[in-house]
């Protein structure tokens, strides 16, 4: 997908402005001072993007997206810019929200230390190089607010090992540190204290090829010893996860968890029962269909889903309950899985005709 895809996807933000509740969820605004919120610098051989809202976990604003898009177009045409690095200011978060998808023909390196959710996933996971640290926290918690794991989640999640992506999407389970690498979400793991040195070495490269960049990343990865021998947090459960989440319906997944009866299974069952039934069914179908689609095809599908969710009940209710009133007691409609019919789902996935996303 080229940069035109990002330009088209910026139109999503205009639909998000329909209600204040959505703006509050995404922590977006029409700030004119976008320059202070995102730093765009040429350093050495690279263009460096720094998401600069550490007090707000580096969540993305519409103004930031416009600036990033315009600069990426310039850097893509600049023969002196050989790679793109994107990172977050501060130590707490790479990016915890907003929603853009970024694509560039030049090598793209995301330094995903700290919290990486929502839009943070969108501006990192589709890049060629993703570097996690012991401070990385990855999650796709959208089913808890009546949404679905967009930002291309329908493409990358079903392509993780086994049924791990289905598990992460439906439960919102958080992966931390080296587990982000082990799961396949990051391509490399580097000790946080070495991240600055890694960036300096990347910037110092002279007319680097992708192979030169990969060599630097591999060198740092090989030297990073933090939690090197620690087993993957889900390792002992992966066989069961692959079995439970192989079901073709959410109802069957629930039955699988109930029948298993282990403490881990019942813990996941408890989590799933708190999620929006509509979101759960949308998400399962999204991943099943996305497993055989190209990324542009997935983005078209997810754009349709996003428009339907904006006009539906559960997203507004989820944002109210989880992020605004914080009573953590959303009243989903429908409230039961069996009440979400195939016909209901088909309405979410149907074509928007001339309003479909175009590349």
Active site residues: 98, 119, 142, 150
**Cα–Cα distance between 147 and 312 in angstroms, integer?**
10
Per-position DSSP letters for 5-74, written without gaps between them: HHHHHTHHHHHHTT-HHHHHHHT----S-HHHHEEEEEETTEEEEEE--GGGTT---HHHHHHHHHHHHH
**Cα–Cα distance between 350 and 226 in angstroms, integer?**
47
Cα distances from 255 to residues 158, 210, 248, 291, 345, in angstroms, run 21, 47, 12, 23, 21
β partners of residue 46 = 43, 83
**Cα–Cα distance between 99 and 284 in angstroms, integer?**
21
- Start-to-end C-alpha separation, the chain: 8
Cα distances from 75 to residues 22, 39, 124, in angstroms, run 32, 14, 18
Task: Classify strands 83-88 and 46-51 as parallel, antiparallel or unpaired.
Answer: parallel
Indicate left, alpha or beta for 194 from its phi (over 0: left) and psi (-120 to 50: alpha).
alpha
Token pair of 324 as six digits: 């605004």
**Cα–Cα distance between 352 and 12 in angstroms, integer?**
14
My answer on whether omega of the bond before 334 falls inside 30° of 0, hence cis, is yes
Token pair of 29 as six digits: 């605004």
Token pair of 60 as six digits: 């993305």
Q: Determine phi and psi for 133, rounding to 5 degrees.
A: -130, 180
Question: 190: closest CA among 180, 198, 182?
Answer: 198
Token pair of 293 as six digits: 């689609």
């Amino acid at each position: 997908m080229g940069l035109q895809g990002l330009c088209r996807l910026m139109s999503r933000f205009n639909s998000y402005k329909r209600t204040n509740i959505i703006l509050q969820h995404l922590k977006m605004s029409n700030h004119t001072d976008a320059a202070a919120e995102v730093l765009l610098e040429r350093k050495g051989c690279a263009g460096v993007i720094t998401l600069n809202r550490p007090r707000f976990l580096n969540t993305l604003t519409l103004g930031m997206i416009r600036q990033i898009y315009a600069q990426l177009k310039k850097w893509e045409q600049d023969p002196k810019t050989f790679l793109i690095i994107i990172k977050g200011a501060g130590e707490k978060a790479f990016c915890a929200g907003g929603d853009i998808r970024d694509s560039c023909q030049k090598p793209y390196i995301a330094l995903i230390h700290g919290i990486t959710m929502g839009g943070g996933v969108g501006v990192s996971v589709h890049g060629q190089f993703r570097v996690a640290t012991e401070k990385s926290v990855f999650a796709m918690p959208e089913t808890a607010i009546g949404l679905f794991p967009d930002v291309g989640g329908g493409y990358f999640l079903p392509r993780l090992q086994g049924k791990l992506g289905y598990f992460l999407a439906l439960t919102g389970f958080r992966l931390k540190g080296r587990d982000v690498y082990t799961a396949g979400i990051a391509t490399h793991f580097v000790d946080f204290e070495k991240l600055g040195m890694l960036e300096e070495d990347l910037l110092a490269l002279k007319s680097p090829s992708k192979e030169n960049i990969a060599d630097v990343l591999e060198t740092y990865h090989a030297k990073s010893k933090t939690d090197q021998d620690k087993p993957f947090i889900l390792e002992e459960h992966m066989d069961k996860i692959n079995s439970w989440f192989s079901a073709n319906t959410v109802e069957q997944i629930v039955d699988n968890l109930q029948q298993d009866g282990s403490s881990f299974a019942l813990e996941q069952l408890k989590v799933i029962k708190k999620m929006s039934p509509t979101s759960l069914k949308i998400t399962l179908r999204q991943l099943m269909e996305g497993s055989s689609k190209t990324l542009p095809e997935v983005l078209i599908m997810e754009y349709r889903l996003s428009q339907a969710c904006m006009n539906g009940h559960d997203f507004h209710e989820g944002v109210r309950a989880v992020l605004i009133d914080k009573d953590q007691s959303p009243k989903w409609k429908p409230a039961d899985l069996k009440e979400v019919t195939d016909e209901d789902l088909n309405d979410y996935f149907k074509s928007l005709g001339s309003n479909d996303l175009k590349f």
